[in-house]
Amino acid sequence: MDTRNRPSRRARFRNQVEKSTYSWGSRLAGDLKYVIVITYIIRGMNDFGLKSPCFSYFMDADIGKGVNEPGDDGHWDDMIGYSSIRDLAYAYDYNGSEPGWGYPAGHIGVTFIKTPKDNGLTGLEAWRNGSEIDHVGTDELKYTAMSSEAFLQTEEPNDIRFLTNSGTTLDMLPGETFDIIVGIVVGNTYDQLIDRTDLLRRQFGIEAVIAEPQDSHSQIEITTVSLSR
């Protein structure tokens, strides 16, 4: 939340958070066995409201075998993409393969299924591992990242971390409850990731998207003034 708007900078927050994680394990689950669902119930236990709260899900995918030196292998050639109409952000390997692997390096994505006020995916931040937010990590840096509404693009692979955001357009009233559902989806290819994301979203009554209005791999900018100086 925006700490500049709280009653006192020494005020204590008493929010209650319940988290549940589940997946489909049946042989009849089909492609749903490649999905993990995480639910959050966040209750405001304060006698004052929270101004402009944000919910963000962080991921450091590190696709591939870890190597020490930058190059075309391991986590050094990760890319980030998104599908705004699916509230989906994802990481994938730039060249789609890793030495010695007999299968594709694959994709992993985060999709917002339910968010407060149905805000969905409102921003996507990313930065290279080792940036200021990793080492300093002040509340101001974190809130700047979480409240970002940018969807910028680049074509440079690197060891990248990303943050999917939802929020900033609403306040949390005293006693109010926010329900949030996040899906983690994996696939060998982009098309497989998209098909499984649509399948998951249909389980929650969200119809599949017929057409994607943007390039299938839209990379986001991984340098920002606030995070990567």
Gap between the Cα atoms of 187 and 194, Å rounded: 8
Residues 213 and 85: beta-carbon distance below 8 Å: yes
Structural domain of 135? 3-203
Encode pLDDT of 165-192 as tens digits.
998 667 888 888 999 999 999 999 999 9
Does residue 83 or residue 2 have the better pLDDT?
Answer: 83
Encode pLDDT of 28-61 as tens digits.
899 999 999 999 999 888 888 888 888 999 999 8
For residue 127 the two structure tokens come to 């930065």
Whether residue 189 is contained in a domain is answered as: yes
Q: What is the mean pLDDT of residues 78-87?
A: 91
| Residue of 22, 38, 30 lying closest to 113 (CA atoms) | 38
Whether residue 192 is contained in a domain is answered as: yes
Of 62-66, 80-84, 88-92, 204-208, the range with the lowest mean pLDDT is 62-66
Whether residue 187 is contained in a domain is answered as: yes
Sheet holding 160-167, edge to edge: 54-59, 160-167, 123-128
Whether residue 66 is contained in a domain is answered as: yes
pTM: 0.82
Could you list the beta-strand ranges (E) of 95-191.
Answer: 107-114, 123-128, 160-167, 177-187
Using DSSP's 3-state secondary structure scheme, residue 223 falls into coil
Q: Which helix (H) or strand (E) holds 40?
A: strand 35-44
Whether residue 105 is contained in a domain is answered as: yes
For residue 187 the two structure tokens come to 């696939």
In the Cβ-directed half-sphere of 145, how many Cα atoms lie within 13 Å?
24
Sheet holding 177-187, edge to edge: 15-23, 35-44, 177-187, 107-114, 88-93, 78-83
Using DSSP's 3-state secondary structure scheme, residue 28 falls into helix
What is the number of domains present in the chain? 1
Whether residue 212 is contained in a domain is answered as: no
Whether residue 109 is contained in a domain is answered as: yes
Whether residue 148 is contained in a domain is answered as: yes
Q: How confident is the model at residue 10 (pLDDT cuts 50, 70, 90)?
A: low
Using DSSP's 3-state secondary structure scheme, residue 35 falls into strand
Most confident of 15-29, 71-85, 130-144, 208-222: 15-29
Give me the residue label for tokens 């937010």: 133
Task: Name residue 100's amino acid.
Answer: G
Question: Quick one: pLDDT at residue 9?
Answer: 54
Q: What is the mean pLDDT of residues 108-125?
A: 92
Whether residue 113 is predicted with pLDDT greater than 60 in this model: the reply is: yes
Gap between the Cα atoms of 216 and 205, Å rounded: 24
DSSP string, 60-97: ----S---SS-SSSGGGGEEEEEEGGGTEEEEEESSS-
Whether residue 214 is predicted with pLDDT greater than 80 in this model: the reply is: no
